[in-house]
Amino acid sequence: MSSAGLADSGIQAIAAGNYPQGIEKLTAALKGHSAPPLDLERSKACLRTGQFDLALYDAEMALRIAFDRANRKQMTEAQIRRAITLFRMGRFADADVCAFWAMQITAGARAGEEDGQQNKLDDNGDYAVGAEEVKLEAKPEPSEGLSTAIHSPTSLKAEVALRNQALTWRIQALTQMEKLPPGHDGRKVRVVKYPKPSEITSTEKAPSDSSVTTTANDSGSSWQNLWTSYSNMYKTLNIRCSYYQTETTLTVDIFSIRISPVQGVSLNKFEGPVLLLLFGEIKPEATKYTVKSMKIELVLQKAKAGNWPALRRENADIVDNLSISPSQVASPSRFQDFITALGYKSPKELELPDVDGSPAWYIALLEKLRSKIDNGHGSSSVPKAEKAVPTQSTQPKPSAEKTTTLSDEQNIAAKTSSNAPAYPTSSKSGPKNWDKIDDGDDEDAAQNGDVNSFFQQIYKGADEDTKRAMMKSFVESNGTALSTSWSDAKSKTYKTLPPDGAEAKKWE
């Protein structure tokens, strides 16, 4: 097969989640010549298979080649890939510096210009840049708006997307860095702007054909095997549930219960605790439940009025064993990304019982992941869970159908760090929560984000007048204009201004 054919096959394999095969194909395609786009794809695949050193090597080699060729777009992409890898390695200060350099290129700065970003240190030698400082610097001028970004040329939109991606990773990295104690290795800066090939190979092991392919296959197969066993057990043991909501309440139905005079009430075949990681805060003392013949009905009072965009927080479905959709199960890549974000570099580090067909190892896996979240090691996209739904109780038989208020000791609900309302949007994906910044490391989500993600960051750090201006202009214009000046927006009525070539229609 030709090099081009190998490259195409490798890229397609990575897109499908088959990282070992993708690495093997790209390694063969890269023999004898260099190509930054292929190095960056292989870097992504190495990162997904837990090969952090090799992922960083590929990102830095791509950066070096792009710099030598004066390809600004590839330099930006390489710095972002470098930042993502360093973030996953826990080198948060280095990650921010690389993301900053990516933003500088998109802003038109000379590639070789020395900006001194890596020298912003305090007396302890720790990186002295903070997340709030970055958010304030990113705030637009009042004259800037969403309509400007919508009507911009394609090339400018691509630059804006890269800039927003880099900004997102800066905020994520600095947020995580600020949780570390002074002097921690994650607060130190060790990167250089454009490492020379000799510097890269002296600090990182250069990937050979055999080392990359063998390691990737071993690691990739381990993750694939774990996910296959997990998804099979999930489909066997998952507990069906549904919900509906009002502005002030949330009603959750948990189905497939069993009632025994000895064990009381248990849910399906699952023997471990069932966790309900809610999207927003509730009032535990006001929670009510009813035990019926085929379900348990929970009535939860929201701590703050407003519609929630979802029942649960992001990634909760991986650890709660509850199924809202019949086809619901995490994809292999999301499953792996979620676990590695909690600090596990390989399935072996989970120290699970052998997969022998019994649910013991599956329950052990869920408990391991939940305990990691409870200890505060998870990202804020999977906040700490405080309470869980028990699988067994001593409730009366369903004929009683008695409704009572649950106490804290009965552990029914879960609090979350996010209780922000969902605001109107014209997006097909549904309501957006502009008060929430995802501190997770879902690189694909960051890469695929549009200009809205940038304004999401801005909205969180804005004052009340700016927020009101943004909401009024955005809603009235059906998402085609955005103002940050309340003095201008309060007396103005915004019209829908579709992009050139598009037509605004009213839906009856």
Please say whether the beta carbons of 417 and 380 come within 8 A: yes
pLDDT, tens digit (0-9, with 9 covering 90-100), for 274-300 = 778 888 899 989 999 888 777 888 899
Give the pLDDT band of residue 393 (cuts 50, 70, 90): very low
The mean pLDDT value for 402-414 works out to 34
| pLDDT(262) > 90 | no
Q: What confidence score (pLDDT) does residue 211 get?
A: 52
In this predicted structure, what is the pLDDT of residue 147? Answer: 47
- Closest Cα partner for 241 from 135, 322, 340? 322
- The single residue listed with the structure tokens 């029914």 is 412
Model confidence at 506: pLDDT above 70: no
Least confident span in 48-52, 212-216, 275-279, 320-324: 212-216
Please report, as a single letter, which amino acid is at residue 262: V
Mean pLDDT of the chain: 74
Amino acid 214: pLDDT: 53
- Show the CA angle centred on residue 101, arms to residues 96 and 102, nearest 5°: 95
Contacts of 316 (CB under 8 A, 6+ apart): 275, 277, 382
Distance set, CA 444 to CA 323, 363, 508 (Å): 24, 29, 36
Which residues are CB-neighbours of 369 under 8 A, at least 6 positions away? Answer: 318, 319, 338, 339, 342
Residue 83: band (very low, low, confident or very high) from pLDDT cuts 50, 70, 90:
very high
Answer whether 218's CB lies under 8 Å from 302's CB.
no
Q: Which two tokens stand for residue 64?
A: 């070096």
Strand stretches in 246-344, DSSP E? 249-255, 257-260, 264-267, 288-291, 295-301, 322-323
Residue 59: pLDDT band with limits 50, 70, 90: very high
Quickly state the pLDDT bin for 153 (edges 50, 70, 90).
low
| Distance of alpha carbon 51 from alpha carbon 59, whole angstroms | 12
Instruction: For residue 44, report the phi and psi dihedrals to the nearest 5 degrees.
Output: -60, -45
Least confident range from 267-276, 288-297, 301-310, 375-384: namely 375-384
Evaluated on CA atoms 364, 370, 373, 375, the torsion sign reads negative
pLDDT of residue 139: 61
Q: Tokens 């552990």 correspond to what residue? A: 411
CA angle 370, 373, 374 (to 5 degrees): 85
**pLDDT for residue 502:** 58
Does the pLDDT at position 401 exceed 50?
A: no
More confident call, 306 vs 236? 306
Among 94-103, 243-252, 309-318, 486-495, name the one with the lowest average pLDDT: 486-495
Band of pLDDT at residue 266, cut at 50, 70 and 90: low
Distance CA 189, CA 187 (A): 7
Q: What is the spatial distance between Cα 29 and Cα 445, in angstroms, rounded to a whole number? A: 27
> Does residue 141 have a pLDDT over 90?
no
- For residue range 99-131, list pLDDT tens digits in order: 999 999 988 888 877 888 989 999 989 999 999
Is the pLDDT assigned to residue 469 strictly greater than 90?
A: no
Q: What is the pTM of this model?
A: 0.49
The answer on pLDDT for 43 being more than 90 is yes
Which carries the bigger pLDDT value, residue 127 or residue 387? 127
Task: Evaluate whether 465 touches 486 at the Cβ level (below 8 Å).
Answer: yes
Measured between alpha carbons, how far is 432 from 26 in angstroms, rounded to an integer? 37
Instruction: Go through the domains of the chain in sequence order and give each one's CATH number.
Output: 3-217 (1.25.40.10), 238-410 (2.60.40.790)
Distance CA 381, CA 283 (A): 22
pLDDT in tens, 335-354: 887 888 787 878 888 888 87
Q: Which residues contact 62 (CB under 8 A, 6 or more apart)?
A: 36, 37, 39, 40, 43, 74, 77, 78, 81
22: helix, strand or coil: helix
Give me the pLDDT at residue 82, please: 95
Bigger pLDDT: 464 or 12?
Answer: 12
CA–CA dist 467, 136 (Å, integer): 14
CB neighbour burial string for 328-365, b if at least 16 within 10 angstroms, e if fewer: ebbebbbbbbbbbbbebeebeebebeebeeeeebbbeb
Confidence tier at 77 by pLDDT (50, 70, 90) = very high
**Residue scoring higher pLDDT (500 or 124):** 124
- 434-443 per-position pLDDT tens digit: 334 343 344 5
